[in-house]
Amino acid sequence: MTVYTATTTAPVNIATLKYWGKRDKTLNLPTNSSISVTLSQDDLRTLTSVSTCETFTQDKLFLNGHQESLESERTQMCLKDLRSLRRALEESDPSLPKISEWKLQIVSENNFPTAAGLASSAAGFSALVVAISKLYKLPQSMSEISKIARKGSGSACRSLFGGYVAWEMGDELDGSDSKAVEVAPLEHWSNMKAAILVVSADKKDTPSTSGMQTTVKTSDLFQWRIKEVVPKRFEEMKAAIIAKDFTTFADLTMKDSNSFHATCLDSFPPIFYLNDTSKKIIKLIHSINEFYGETVAAYTFDAGPNAVIYYLEENEDKVFGFLYKLFQNVEGWDSKFTSERLSALASAFNDLKQSVPFPLDEDIQKGVSRIILTQVGPGPQDTEESLVDANGNPKI
């Protein structure tokens, strides 16, 4: 029995211009275009292997070592679209094996704890769709394939590219022009770094799908956001990325995060993702930028309290003087820094401390469980690793 297998990695992406609101729920068509930075897979990635064999009797999914249901409508749509593209290939070239008719085994693992509250569905659906595209040897471009990932999880489409990525909302009813495109590759602006402050949430947030629907239906301010605010910002942010203009990029990123959370608050009933710790982090970043008289860091928050701080590598000491001082007891610093470097950061800050004109609220640390230090990274990657054995079954 021939077993076909393929494996890919896929990254997490964090939007700098937010996706919030669907104009079509089934197809995941958004009410506005969005932009994201793809993060390094050294720190955050999904690894997915897929296998297919004529003898497999059902589609199966294994996530982080556990078999999971494949029944979700979203996953089914992705599988259907991918099989249909494979079938077209098989019809045009009868010499190809008819693997579109065979069942699939999908085995997937994250290198970061799901509990961290980082949206893993983008990396997950991106890896699933890319792995099967490879298995099926589909000739379609990444942008074409991104439309399938989009049906799985809207923001997953942006994880098909590395670097700086736009999701063009499109305007076709069938979603045929709602796809991810590259704004600039990783190499264009490779010194973009990101620090994720994992903020403890005291309860479950409103799920983003239902939250979005509430906002679309009830927020008066949202209509203005999607019609006037985001379209202008979309062009400005693409231009800032191309010009490597961090100040503009950072200001737009922070403003768009605030605008998105403002429309959540304007929903009825209102939706809250930022908590008091998130707000303290926002104030801290503004204070740091004000202290240096330049924009050295930008915050952004998705549908939860975690902060993602973007900054340029050359400003790391400036940013981390403050962040290490305030968050030195949280986990994660030693993943990237030697203890010598951390001591140097601490003592550099102590020299500076006298001239800091705002109070350093050391309580802020209590609301944060972990820091993840990462940076802009590439799109889905080929890898020698595989999560399936020669029979196409999950390795134990």
Residues lying near a second copy in the complex (CB under 8 A):
220-221, 223-225, 228-229, 251, 254-255, 258-259, 261-263, 265-270, 272, 275-276, 279, 282-283, 286
If the CB atoms of residues 91 and 220 are measured against a second copy, the closer one turns out to be 220
User: What number of helices (H) and strands (E) belong to the chain?
Assistant: 10, 15
CB of 219 to a second copy, least distance (A): 8
CB of 359 to a second copy, least distance (A): 9
Alpha-carbon distance 7 to 386, whole Å? 6
CB of 164 to a second copy, least distance (A): 23
Q: Cβ(215)–Cβ(264) under 8 Å?
A: yes
CB of 268 to a second copy, least distance (A): 6
Burial of 20 (0-12, 13-18, 19+ CB in 10 A): buried
> How many residues belong to the chain?
396
If the CB atoms of residues 29 and 226 are measured against a second copy, the closer one turns out to be 226
Alpha-carbon distance 340 to 344, whole Å? 6
| Adjacent-strand bridge partners of 13 | 38
Alpha-carbon distance 100 to 258, whole Å? 45
| DSSP code for 101 | G
If the CB atoms of residues 98 and 227 are measured against a second copy, the closer one turns out to be 227
Alpha-carbon distance 346 to 322, whole Å? 9
Alpha-carbon distance 233 to 389, whole Å? 47
CB of 183 to a second copy, least distance (A): 22
If the CB atoms of residues 27 and 274 are measured against a second copy, the closer one turns out to be 274
If the CB atoms of residues 125 and 273 are measured against a second copy, the closer one turns out to be 273
If the CB atoms of residues 17 and 132 are measured against a second copy, the closer one turns out to be 17
If the CB atoms of residues 94 and 293 are measured against a second copy, the closer one turns out to be 293
Q: Nearest Cα to 2, choosing from 58, 56, 48, 49?
A: 56
Say whether 10 sits in a helix, a strand or coil. strand
**CA distances for 33 relative to 237, 256, 285, angstroms:** 12, 12, 26
Q: Residue 98: phi, psi to the nearest 5?
A: -85, 60
CB of 371 to a second copy, least distance (A): 22
If the CB atoms of residues 126 and 277 are measured against a second copy, the closer one turns out to be 277
CB of 295 to a second copy, least distance (A): 12
**CA distances for 58 relative to 33, 253, 375, angstroms:** 37, 44, 39
CB of 233 to a second copy, least distance (A): 9
If the CB atoms of residues 185 and 231 are measured against a second copy, the closer one turns out to be 231
**CA distances for 166 relative to 33, 37, 133, 270, angstroms:** 7, 9, 21, 28
Q: Provide the pairing of β-strand 13-17 with 29-30.
A: unpaired
CB of 250 to a second copy, least distance (A): 11
